[in-house]
């Protein structure tokens, strides 16, 4: 688990608020015997979380507990998968891409991601009620969070070389 605190150095990078953003990278999940977290931005109230179900679907969660969406597509364990989650501010739409394919399910969020309780970022776990859970078991590569830019708006070919910027 990587935890980034609520310091000034990271505040503007991770304070997604109403900006458009993209979270993407390559992921290799050992298994889906339990829910596996990719990232949580914020703690409890106002938090954005991306995790998996035991069936390998991705879930987008707001405020730590409010399910925004579950993908119709699922991920296969023990294989590298490119995952991208985008939020487009102009239409308040959350989209998920698996290996470059836009999932048929989308969600909208009409209120800003506010992180009112804390702006802490957890990569590889979720945090709730003073405890970490849903630990990621596997590998991550080229993980990036891009504030102010929706990198993918339709189907795409996942990058084959290390990402830049």
pLDDT at 165 over 80: no
Per residue in 68-90, pLDDT tens?
A: 899 999 999 999 999 999 998 88
Q: Annotate 34-48 with b (16+ C-beta within 10 A) or e (fewer).
A: eebbbbbbbbbebbb
* pLDDT computed for residue 12 by the predictor: 55
Residues sharing a CB contact under 8 Å with residue 155, sequence separation 6 or more, in sequence order: 97, 100, 101, 102
Strands (E) across 75-150 are located at 80-88, 93-98, 101-102, 107-108, 121-123, 126-128, 131-133, 138-147
* pLDDT computed for residue 163 by the predictor: 75
* pLDDT computed for residue 79 by the predictor: 96
Per residue in 108-162, pLDDT tens?
A: 876 666 665 566 777 888 877 777 778 899 999 999 888 889 999 999 999 888 7
Please give the structure tokens belonging to residue 143: 């993980």
- Distances from the Cα of 115 to the Cα of 41, 71, 83, angstroms: 8, 24, 23
Average pLDDT across the chain, whole number: 83
Q: Which pTM value belongs to this model?
A: 0.88
pLDDT at 14 over 70: no
How far is it, in rounded angstroms, from Cα 118 to Cα 162?
A: 31
Please give the structure tokens belonging to residue 89: 């501010």
How far is it, in rounded angstroms, from Cα 107 to Cα 95?
A: 7
């Amino acid at each position: 688990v990587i935890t980034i605190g609520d310091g000034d150095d990271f505040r503007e990078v991770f304070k997604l608020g109403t900006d458009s953003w993209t979270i993407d990278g390559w992921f290799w999940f050992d298994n889906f015997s339990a829910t596996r977290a990719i990232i949580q931005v914020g703690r409890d109230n106002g938090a954005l979380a991306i995790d998996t179900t035991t069936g390998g679907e991705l879930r987008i969660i707001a405020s730590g507990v409010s399910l925004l969406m579950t993908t119709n597509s699922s991920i296969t364990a023990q294989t590298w998968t490119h995952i991208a989650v985008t939020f487009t501010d102009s239409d308040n739409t959350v989209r998920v891409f698996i290996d470059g394919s836009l999932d048929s399910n989308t969600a909208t969020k009409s209120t800003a991601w506010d992180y009112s309780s804390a702006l802490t970022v957890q990569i590889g776990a979720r945090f709730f009620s003073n405890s970490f859970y849903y630990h990621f078991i596997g590998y991550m590569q080229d993980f990036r969070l891009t504030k102010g830019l929706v990198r993918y708006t339709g189907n795409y070919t996942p990058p084959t070389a290390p990402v830049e910027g």
